[in-house]
Structure 1
Amino acid sequence: MSNPIDDAAITAVLARHLTQSVQRQAVAVGNIANLDTPGYRAREVRFSEALDEQLAALKTSHPDHFGPQNPPAPPSGADAEVVETPGLPARRDGNTVQLDRELLNLTRATGDFAKAQTVLAAKFRLVRYAINEGR
């Protein structure tokens, strides 16, 4: 039998992953929209520090630390940082957006979203199955 607290933590991580994927998509779309804007510097979303904090929050030193009174933190996208993408060559007009790179980033973010959404949907189907007692 699965532990409902572990399920809550996994659901929170999946929800955060969905939020982060949407943020990556938005930044890639913004970069593409500014493809012809002189002086525009391509941007990216950084999650490394946020991921470290998120993983540290899921580690427990005692199995009773997560419980109904102490659930994991809800997902949020506030821990993402949008920064200028370093190391990209600039065109004559100073723009650093590379269309092929941004389309790849957009495709990856869309795929990440789809994977997390599929897992989350499967979890909810199992819950619905259990509620309906297998009917």
Structure 2
Amino acid sequence: MNLFPQSFQSLERALSATALKQKVHAANIANVDTPNYKSKQVNFEAVLNEAAANQIMNSYKTNDKHIEFGGSTSSAKPRISTNHTTAFTQNGNNVDMDHEMAELAKNQLQYNALTERISGKFSTLSTVINGGR
């Protein structure tokens, strides 16, 4: 018996991806003055879109009119890629602080939304366990 619905697993993977993004953006910011450092980014959305295109995602059908697709997203993991195409400074570094700070703020909002959603799910579970009290 699975106590937690699959949405918990999806939220957990999304939280892991945002934590990885946080680490990558923090590393980019920390290396803003490092000669020849190339910025990195996490591409989780592209991996999810690829998984959806290849129909390897699980689905739960609540209505007979819903479209079926199946498989597993366990192979859908965030990828870290390095940007070798640009150089903003003379020392070969391509970290753009404005971009990194904006991405960091966006990632923080996503993380906060995910934690709020998980908190709501646990609150609902707690209400059910306590009989609605």
Aligned-partner SS, 1:41: coil
Contact 1:41 1:97 in 2 (8 A): yes
User: How do 1:36-115 and structure 2 match up within 5 A?
Assistant: 36-47=33-44, 48-53=46-51, 56-59=56-59, 79-85=77-83, 87-115=85-113
Structure number with higher relative contact order (C-alpha < 8 Å, ≥ 6 residues apart)? 1
Amino acid at match of 2:34: T
Contact 1:39-1:95 at 8 Å conserved across structures:
yes
Distance 1:132 1:73, change over 3 A: farther
Identity score, percent:
24
CA distance in 1, matches of 2:87, 2:33: 15
More displaced stretch, 96-105 vs 49-58:
49-58
Tell me: CA distance 1:60–1:86, structure 2 relative to 1, closer, same or farther (3 Å).
farther
**Structure 2: which amino acid aligns with 1:26?**
K
Per the alignment, residue 67 of structure 2 pairs with none
Is the 2:21–2:107 Cα contact (8 Å) retained in structure 1? Answer: yes
The 8 Å contact of residues 12 and 73 in structure 1, kept in 2 or not, is answered as no
Q: SS in structure 2 opposite 1:83? A: strand
Q: Larger deviation: 45-54 or 13-22?
A: 45-54
Structure 1 residue 134: deviation in Å?
Answer: 1.5
Gaps of 5+ in 1: 64-71
SS of aligned partner of 2:57: helix
2:10 counterpart letter in structure 1: V
| Structure 2 residue runs without a partner (length 5+) | 64-70
Who is 2:116 aligned against?
118
Shift of 1:86: 5.3
- SS class of match (2:56): helix
- 1:27 aligns with 24
Q: CA deviation at 1:118?
A: 0.4
Q: CA deviation at 1:103?
A: 0.6
Output the CA distance in 2 between the equivalents of 1:101 and 1:92.
Answer: 19
- 1:60–1:122 distance in 2 versus 1, CA, 3 Å: closer
Conservation of the 8 A alpha-carbon contact between 2:38 and 2:84? no
